[in-house]
Amino acid sequence: MQAVKTRIDWVDYAKGICIILVVAMHSTAGVQKEAGAISALNSFIEWAKPFRMPDFFMISGLFLASRINRPWRAYLDTKFLHFAYFYVLWMTIQFLTKGYGIYAGEGLAGLGREYLLGFVEPFGTLWFIYMLAVFFVVVKALRKVPPLAIFAVAALLEAAHIHTSATLIDEFAARFVYFFTGYWLANRVFALAAGVDGFSPFQILSGLLVWAAANLVFVQAGWSQLPGVSLCLGLVGAMAVVSSGVLLSKFKAADPLRYCGENSIVIYLSFFLFMASTRTVLLKFAPGLGLNAISLLTTMAGVIGPVLLFWATRGTRLDFLFKRPAWARLAEPGKGWHSDTHVRKPASTFQPQARGPSLSH
């Protein structure tokens, strides 16, 4: 019998917030770079920087505890090969869209070198997928090490603000502490969500406004990247996004955001296609819209486009774009440790359960 997976609404709402913030950041930065000017939206992007990726990594680690003790073969299939497949596939797709420019500048040898480099140096926007695969393996390898010791070392790495030419080193140092926190303190995160759910929407919103103002003060004062401060802002911001997810789960009108979170891997993998094309068209043919409007429209395209592509390819020969085929697995599905079947948990459920397919599948 196949295992039945469940979803928790506030988790998907929180992931929906994260993925939209990520697309908005890349869209705004891309428009500004092409236009050679800064838009008003840049202030919002900077405000979200302390918690945008920390929350994404923390949520990705939330459900790991229930799977950490699986045999290595099953674990590597769902926690490493899963991400490796999508990374290589979409790195290749991204590379095809940029390959001509590389070929024109560096020739065929340079083209091949740049592609192979993508296996050791995360390529473009896909670095998050790359790092998740690394984090899942590292946490399992260290599962017998006292968690407090791991957290302490990870916190020191984050505080060190390491900057080298290697994305793997830099992002591991900056982000691992959040992923590990999600895994190690998952029960506390779910307890927080349950506690927040006991407040009225007005009370939750009031608390979020206080947090938002405090976060803004630290960002504008230039304190957000100070050692120790960045970690605190990241963790507190992650809790704020969790609380936002709980708040949004109370309103049916926010359901499209939940859907985006449920399919965050779909958006993350392919948003660059729609983002880049929309940015190019708008800047060329409708520059009068202004940078803010162009950035917002580009963000919308980066979110909606992947969902439409997902719908269009489901059940077709192109569903390998978002669904890992059988040949890319270490074992056949349905052996008791893997299934794509899932049902939704009601919004009032706050305890960690098995989850449906997503970025941390």
CB 185 within 8 A of CB 220: no
CA 122/CA 129 separation, integer angstroms? 9
The tokens 């929350």 sit on which residue? 55
pLDDT tens digits, one per residue of 210-247? 999 999 999 999 999 999 999 999 999 999 999 999 99
pLDDT tens digits, one per residue of 89-115? 999 999 888 877 776 777 787 788 888
What is the residue-wise DSSP string for 252-307?
GGGHHHHHHHHTHHHHHHHHHHHHHHHHHHHHHH-GGG-HHHHHHHHHHHHHHHHH
CA 333/CA 327 separation, integer angstroms? 11
- With H, G, I as helix, E, B as strand and everything else as coil, classify residue 4: coil
Work out the average pLDDT over 197-202. Answer: 96
> Residue 113 corresponds to which tokens in the numbers above?
């070198």
- pLDDT over 70 at 336, yes or no: no
E strand spans, 93-233:
none
